[in-house]
């Protein structure tokens, strides 16, 4: 059966609650600010929100339903997505179906986390049963250790060098310098990248995201409604989602994108070469390389050559992570899974200011989440058009 398209769906109102390294507030505070910022930008009253999708790690012990009482919302459609970096794409595709089906008229998709001084350690220690039993007791390195394994393996098998990863990090920092909400405000040179201190070899300081507090959000509604409200929007052309793909691979060198990309491009009626920009999930640069391969921008193992051929600034030959990505903006927990989506909406609705990709019409956003044991389980991608 052919999948139904997303005709009539509008994605709009990209919102960022400015990040801070540490916050004494709870996740509820960040999510509340996110909702109120969305309402203000869209010119809506709270009661107009009849659908809510929430992603957060530090909201616990609450979930989305508790947040409705906390914020005095009364949605008729509610979703809680404990999917980390895959949450942005997944929130969008579910909300789009709800709007198409008439189960909700206006869905607010929000993601946010707080970051107390000790909360990252506590999140790691209790991330999943497999992590608690079979990863955390091994040095408690968190995702640094998991991605160090993947990076070392990728370097050995496909010949990537630290310079290749560094090129992405340096380009993303250049993008971030034009994004006011990025926590990193100083330029980064390749020399600085290479000489940074080791964290979990072969990963060094600038290969690792910095945990912080913050929130991101957007609205999903019908095109007619968006037009009536007079808000700029993007159309949703295609999406994919997959969990625990290629479970038999001994080490993760590909994820669900490789399985589903043809479906994605067929639904969108476009190919990789048509994209004006790409937002990958980039908690570590190696995972951006896997996405470029699995999403068909180059063949498996050829991302190092692809990186050497291109420049990745917003005005470069392959605009990538145009707001700086998590590596230069910061990782505000589950909001990291929304960062690329919010930036894509800004690019497609002409709100990207100094980092605007020229004539950006079509963009791809990719998500990746949840290192449950030795690999990220969730993957997804969406193609949007203005």
Angle between helices 162-176 and 285-294 in degrees, nearest 10: 100
3-state secondary structure of 211: strand
Q: How far apart are CA 141 and CA 139, in angstroms?
A: 5
203 binds another protein (CB under 8 A): yes
By CB under 8 A, the residues from 119 to 138 that bind another protein are 120-121, 124-126, 129-130, 132-138
Structure tokens at 158: 């496909």
Structure tokens at 184: 């990193």
In the complex, the smallest distance separating the C-beta of residue 61 from another protein, rounded to whole angstroms, is 18
Taking contact as CB under 8 A, which single stretch among the options 3-11, 201-209, 225-233, 348-356 is the one that binds another protein? 201-209
Q: How far apart are CA 326 and CA 328, in angstroms?
A: 5
CB atoms within 10 A of CB 227: 12
Q: How far apart are CA 232 and CA 5, in angstroms?
A: 21
141 binds another protein (CB under 8 A): yes
In the complex, the smallest distance separating the C-beta of residue 29 from another protein, rounded to whole angstroms, is 24
Question: 91 CB contacts (<8 Å, ≥6 apart)?
Answer: 53, 55, 79, 81, 109, 111, 338
Peptide bond into 202 cis (omega under 30): yes
From residue 143 to residue 182, the character string flagging contacts with another protein as x (rule: CB under 8 A) and all else as - is: -xx--xxx-xx--x--------------------------
In the complex, the smallest distance separating the C-beta of residue 253 from another protein, rounded to whole angstroms, is 10
In the complex, the smallest distance separating the C-beta of residue 115 from another protein, rounded to whole angstroms, is 13
Q: Residue 85 gets which letter from DSSP?
A: G
From residue 263 to residue 302, the character string flagging contacts with another protein as x (rule: CB under 8 A) and all else as - is: ----------------------------------------
Taking contact as CB under 8 A, which single stretch among the options 118-126, 217-225, 272-280, 285-293 is the one that binds another protein? 118-126
60 binds another protein (CB under 8 A): no
Positions touching another protein (CB under 8 A) are: 120-121, 124-126, 129-130, 132-142, 144-145, 148-150, 152-153, 156, 197-203, 247, 250-251, 373-374
């Amino acid at each position: 059966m052919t999948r139904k398209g997303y005709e009539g769906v509008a994605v709009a109102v990209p919102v960022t609650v400015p990040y801070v390294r540490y916050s004494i507030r709870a996740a509820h505070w960040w999510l509340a600010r996110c909702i109120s910022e969305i309402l203000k930008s869209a010119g809506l009253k709270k009661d107009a929100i009849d659908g809510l999708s929430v992603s957060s790690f530090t909201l616990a012990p609450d979930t989305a339903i508790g947040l409705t009482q906390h914020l005095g919302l009364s949605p008729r459609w509610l979703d809680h997505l404990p999917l980390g970096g895959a949450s942005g794409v997944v929130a969008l595709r579910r909300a789009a179906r709800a709007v198409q089906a008439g189960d909700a008229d206006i869905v607010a998709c929000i993601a946010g986390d707080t970051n107390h001084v000790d909360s990252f350690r506590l999140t790691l220690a209790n991330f999943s049963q497999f992590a608690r039993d079979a990863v955390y007791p091994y040095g408690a390195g968190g995702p640094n250790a998991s991605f160090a394994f993947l990076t070392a393996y990728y370097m050995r098998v496909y010949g990537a060098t630290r310079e290749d990863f560094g090129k992405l990090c340096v380009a993303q920092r250049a993008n971030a310098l034009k994004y006011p909400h990025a926590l990193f405000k100083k330029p980064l040179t390749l020399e600085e990248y290479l000489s940074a201190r080791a964290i979990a070899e072969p990963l060094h300081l600038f290969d690792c995201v910095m945990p912080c507090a913050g929130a991101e959000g957007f609205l999903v509604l019908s095109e007619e409604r968006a037009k009536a409200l007079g808000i700029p929007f993007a159309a949703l052309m295609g999406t994919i989602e997959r969990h625990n793909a290629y479970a038999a691979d001994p080490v993760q060198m590909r994820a669900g994108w490789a399985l589903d990309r043809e479906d994605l491009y067929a639904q969108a009626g476009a190919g990789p070469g048509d994209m004006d920009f790409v937002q990958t999930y980039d908690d570590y640069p190696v995972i951006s390389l896997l996405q470029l391969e699995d999403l068909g921008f180059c063949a498996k193992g050829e991302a190092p050559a692809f990186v050497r051929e291109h420049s990745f600034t917003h005005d470069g030959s392959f605009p990538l992570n145009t707001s700086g990505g998590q590596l230069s903006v910061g990782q505000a927990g589950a909001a990291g899974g929304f960062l690329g989506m919010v930036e894509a909406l800004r690019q497609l609705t002409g709100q990207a200011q100094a980092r605007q990709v020229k004539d950006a019409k079509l963009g791809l956003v990719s998500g990746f989440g949840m290192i449950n044991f030795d690999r990220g389980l969730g993957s997804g991608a969406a193609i949007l058009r203005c």
